[in-house]
């Protein structure tokens, strides 16, 4: 194509991305992984429908940057999930895309080598390989989809999806959610508005036609049936938390008035812990208490959790990174995570 003075003025180059069909052929799902995904989606749907009384706990690293540490975490979590399976449905956060307020590391898919080389085809392959390994353990997975092209490469291995605070208002993401095969949680906006998320849930329930890609990577028009399993995720706001009983009562009314299902998940990080990971347990304990007090419309919680607590910065030498420590938002460590899950299990069974 000849050069012009009006096209791609600020584009350095373009690279061909691996087609979804080629990635799925290279790393196909297995019978064990497929059983996990089907069962995980079915169970979360049953919780949303009120047919399963278990409490959903979605926990894991803020973002994945080290697959070895992620697999160690997954093995620990899978064992706990099996132990508590009669009262808790445990799924692992496996987040590969990180929306940034300005700039910064955007996640394993975009920069798998942590050096701004943006080797996205490799990032997709590494992400899919990890999701496959975790699903083969029998552990359901949860992620956030930020770019609407990514689901074609990964969605068949995911049981639950979040649409983040910065993208819930986006028509592109509402359309994408209408065609996803799993339940989708829409987060309230960073300023605390829940009306935006309620509107998103209603929008995603409807049929849509929009531009996307097919399995061969070609531009296509995607026609969807609508997703009946959209729900609200409360993540607090820049000004504070929104998980207290009064805030949740208002949100439940807003959901009903907006024509959306009155089910919600509370994300115990972000504004709900005042961006202080050492306070995450306060939100967690409050939400479990509200569930015990009879609010069955709170179906679950989210935790940002890693092998070791806290966070660290990428300083240019990735060999110096601490093992099992987040490079994005600070997380609670595994010991606290296991304690909180055990505490919730005991309380939900009527224990002290």
From 164, 163, 165, 173, select the one nearest 190 (Cα to Cα): 165
To the question of domain 20-348 being in CATH 3.30.1130.10, the answer is no
Over 60: is that where the pLDDT of 352 sits? no
283 in Cβ contact with 241 (< 8 Å): yes
Contact 290, 256 (CB under 8 A): no
Distance between CA 247 and CA 180 in Å, rounded?
29
**193 within 8 A of 146, measured Cβ to Cβ:** no
The residue ranking higher by pLDDT, 183 or 1, is 183
Which residue(s) pair with 305 in the sheet?
332
d(CA 124, CA 180): 18
Give the pLDDT band of residue 120 (cuts 50, 70, 90): very high
pLDDT at 236: 97
Strands 219-223 and 209-213: antiparallel
Instruction: Tell me the C-alpha distance between 181 and 129, whole Å.
Output: 20
pLDDT for 126 equals: 98
String of DSSP letters for 201-217: HHHHHS--EEEEE-TTS
Measured distance CA(194)–CA(36) in Å, rounded: 32
pLDDT 10s digits, 61-104:
999 999 999 999 999 999 999 999 999 999 999 999 988 777 78
Residue 89, beta-bridge partner list: 56
Q: What DSSP designation does 18 have? A: P
Q: What per-residue string of b and e applies to 186-220 under the rule 16 or more CB within 10 Å gives b?
A: bbbbbebebebbbbbbbbbbeebebebbeeebeee
- For 128-175, how does the pLDDT look when each residue is reduced to its tens digit (9 = 90+)? 999 999 999 999 999 999 999 999 999 999 999 999 999 999 999 999
Q: What is the pLDDT, as a whole number, of residue 139?
A: 98
In this predicted structure, the answer to whether residue 286 has a pLDDT above a threshold of 60 is yes
| Rounded CA separation 160/40 (Å) | 8
DSSP letters spanning 47-74 = HHHTS--PEEEEEE-SS---HHHHHHHH
Tell how strand 160-163 and strand 184-187 pair up.
parallel
pLDDT at 220 over 80: yes
- The pLDDT assigned to 260 comes to 96
Range in 102-106, 135-139, 224-228, 329-333 the model is least confident about: 102-106
pLDDT-derived band at 351, boundaries 50, 70, 90: low
CB of 268 closer than 8 Å to CB of 302: yes
Q: What is the per-residue pLDDT for 4?
A: 84
Whose tokens are 């224990």? That residue is 351
| Cα 152 to chain centroid, rounded | 16
User: pLDDT at position 316, please?
Assistant: 80
| C-alpha to C-alpha distance for 170 and 178, rounded to whole angstroms | 13
Pairing status of strand 230-234 against strand 141-144: unpaired
Q: What is the DSSP letter of 239?
A: T
- Domain regions of the chain by residue span: 20-348
- HSE (CB half, 13 Å, CA atoms) of 224? 24
pLDDT for residue 2: 75
Q: Is the pLDDT of residue 317 over 90?
A: no
**114 pLDDT tier (thresholds 50, 70, 90):** very high
Contacts of 293 (CB under 8 A, 6+ apart): none
State yes or no: pLDDT of 3 exceeds 90: no
């Amino acid at each position: 194509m000849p050069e012009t003075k009006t096209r791609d003025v600020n584009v350095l180059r373009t690279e061909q991305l691996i087609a979804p069909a080629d990635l799925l052929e290279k790393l196909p799902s297995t019978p064990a992984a497929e059983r996990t995904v089907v069962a995980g989606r079915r169970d979360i749907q049953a919780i949303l429908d009120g047919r399963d009384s278990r409490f959903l706990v979605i926990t894991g690293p803020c973002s994945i940057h080290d697959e070895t540490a992620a697999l160690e975490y997954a093995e620990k979590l899978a064992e706990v999930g099996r132990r508590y399976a009669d009262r808790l449905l445990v799924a692992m956060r496996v987040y590969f895309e990180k929306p940034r307020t300005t700039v910064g590391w955007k996640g394993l898919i975009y920069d798998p080598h942590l050096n701004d080389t943006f080797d996205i085809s490799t990032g997709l392959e590494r992400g899919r390989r990890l999701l496959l390994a975790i699903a083969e353990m029998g552990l359901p997975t949860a992620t956030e989809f930020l770019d609407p092209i990514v689901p074609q490469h990964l969605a068949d291995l995911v049981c639950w999806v979040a649409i983040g605070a910065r993208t819930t208002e986006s028509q592109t993401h509402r359309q994408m959610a209408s065609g996803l095969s799993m339940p989708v949680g829409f987060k309230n906006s960073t300023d605390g508005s829940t009306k935006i998320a309620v509107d998103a849930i209603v929008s995603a329930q409807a049929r849509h036609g929009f531009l996307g890609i097919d399995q061969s990577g070609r531009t296509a028009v995607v026609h969807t049936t609508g997703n009946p399993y959209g729900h609200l995720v409360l993540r607090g706001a820049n000004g504070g938390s929104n998980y207290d009983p009064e805030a949740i009562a208002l949100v439940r009314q807003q959901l009903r008035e907006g024509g959306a299902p009155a089910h919600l998940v509370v994300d115990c990080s972000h504004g709900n812990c005042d961006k202080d990971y050492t306070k995450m347990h306060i939100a967690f304990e409050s939400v479990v208490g509200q569930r015990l007090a009879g609010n069955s419309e709170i179906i679950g919680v989210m935790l940002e959790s890693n092998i070791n607590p806290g966070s660290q910065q990428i300083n240019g030498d990735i060999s110096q990174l601490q093992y099992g420590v987040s490079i994005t938002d600070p997380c609670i460590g595994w010991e606290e995570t296991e304690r909180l899950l055990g505490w919730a299990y005991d309380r939900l069974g009527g224990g002290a």
